[in-house]
Amino acid sequence: MYYAKDSCITHPTVSPVFMDAIWPDTWPQVSSPGPTDLVNGSDNSPLGRCCLARHPLMRGAKPASGQPLPSGVNLGYADGHGAKLRLQDIKTVCWHQGYVGTANPWNLSPDPGWSW
Q: What tens digit of pLDDT does each residue of 48-95 get?
A: 999 999 998 888 888 999 999 999 999 999 999 999 999 999 999 999
The predicted pLDDT at position 33 comes to 93
* Lowest-confidence segment of 10-14, 30-34, 56-60 by average pLDDT: 56-60
Q: Which residues face 82 on adjacent strands?
A: 76
Among residues 64, 70, 74, which one has the least CA distance to residue 106? 64
The predicted pLDDT at position 114 comes to 83
The predicted pLDDT at position 1 comes to 83
CB contact at 8 A, 101 and 92: yes
Q: Which residues face 54 on adjacent strands?
A: 57
